[in-house]
Amino acid sequence: MTETVRLVEVGPRDGLQNEPDPVPTAVKLELIRRLADAGLRCIEATAFVSPKWVPQMADQAEVMAGLPARPDVAFPVLAPNMKGYEAAVAAGAKEVAIFGAASESFSQRNINCSIAESMTRFAPVMAAAARDGVRVRGYVSCVVACPYEGAVAPAQAAAVAAELHAMGCYEVSLGDTIGAGTPASVLALLEATAARVPVAALAGHYHDTYGMAVANVAASYGFGLRVFDSSVAGLGGCPYAKGATGNVATEDLVYLLHGLGAATGVDEDALADTGAWISTQLGRANGSRAGRARLAKRPATTGA
């Protein structure tokens, strides 16, 4: 029996949030359209956060207004507090994401409060979402290691994930924010977390700082995870985690999963084209190994 894997494409938000130069709204919307056409059915569109701290997301309302009319595609947005939630819903969001951290230091640097205080902030968001019929997904950052504290105990990450799930998050994404994870440390994390949260409610969000993201996805798939976050062309990075490189590239992830016999619903050729296109728009080489390899295998055209 073929296993189905759900991909959460975070390129338009997590992938672009740390770009040094402004990305035009039209480019963001074209990226989203191309991703949807390639078969991605969950695309994180933008973030309702302070433009002072994340200026790349200052056009969130314009992005929401310009989203393609695709009832088959979900467009979640980041909304970490009530102000962000209210603005997101006013802009038409049907799903939001909140984010906590497994590290006290990272929580203070990222959202300027302790882990316990962050959960208190999330409570009114969860209540409003339940009232409004808005789905809420949870993120946990630094589940393996923290740029300020070093290694994070699996039990500590599991506790935060369990609290988000208990609050009503339908799914909790486990983020290896600085990409320090290995299959061994990721499996230890999953074992601790699965003891408190159903595996079906967990997702993997792995960064590729040390080239381990694909290996961590493979280990997580073997463990039983069937939801993964990824970013086209490997775009991404965290403004509060110095040195953190991009998320696992969607092209690399899809190639791996298809090789494992899983179904993703994604067209690899269209995805490779999209990765090459957005890389050109950002003035860089395509960051996806699988995308580059797929494009290189195509026969040259003569123009005749």
Would you kindly state where each structural domain of the chain is located, as residue ranges? 6-296
Identify the active-site residue in 42, 142, 146, 238: 238
Q: Taking the complete model, does pTM exceed 0.85, yes or no?
A: yes
Each residue of 97-132: pLDDT tens digit? 999 999 988 888 777 788 888 899 999 999 999 999
Identify the pLDDT of residue 237.
61
Identify the pLDDT of residue 1.
78
Taking a C-beta distance cutoff of 8 angstroms, is the pair 13, 46 a contact? yes
How far is 81 from 239, CA to CA, in rounded Å?
A: 19
Each residue of 9-35: pLDDT tens digit? 999 999 999 888 999 999 999 999 999
H or E element: which one contains 60? helix 60-65
Helices 115-132 and 82-90, packing angle to 10 deg? 30
- Supply the mean pLDDT for the chain: 93
Higher pLDDT, 238 or 178: 178
Dihedral sign, Cα of residue 149, residue 154, residue 160, residue 165 = positive
Identify the pLDDT of residue 118.
86
| Burial environment of residue 200 by CB neighbours within 10 A (0 to 12, 13 to 18, 19 or more) | exposed
How far is 236 from 86, CA to CA, in rounded Å?
A: 26
Is 238 among the residues known to form the active site? Answer: yes
Q: Among candidates 298, 248, 253, which has minimal Cα distance to 273?
A: 298
Taking a C-beta distance cutoff of 8 angstroms, is the pair 281, 296 a contact? no
How far is 80 from 129, CA to CA, in rounded Å?
A: 12
Identify the pLDDT of residue 302.
42
Tokens of 86: 């209210």
Please state the CATH superfamily assignment of the domain spanning residues 6-296 in this structure.
Aldolase class I (3.20.20.70)
pLDDT of 167 above 90: yes
Q: Return the residue matching tokens 């992938």.
A: 15
Taking a C-beta distance cutoff of 8 angstroms, is the pair 261, 3 a contact? yes
Q: Tell how far CA 108 is from the center of its chain.
A: 21
Contacts 24+ apart (CB under 8 A), 117-125: 119/163, 119/164, 119/167, 121/80, 121/81, 121/82, 122/80, 122/98, 122/164, 122/167, 123/167, 124/82, 125/79, 125/80, 125/81, 125/82, 125/85, 125/96, 125/98
Each residue of 56-85: pLDDT tens digit? 999 999 999 999 999 999 999 999 899 999
Q: Which of 51-55, 154-158, 194-198, 262-266 has the lowest mean pLDDT?
A: 51-55
Q: Predicted confidence band at 238 (pLDDT cuts at 50, 70, 90)?
A: low
How far is 280 from 285, CA to CA, in rounded Å?
A: 7
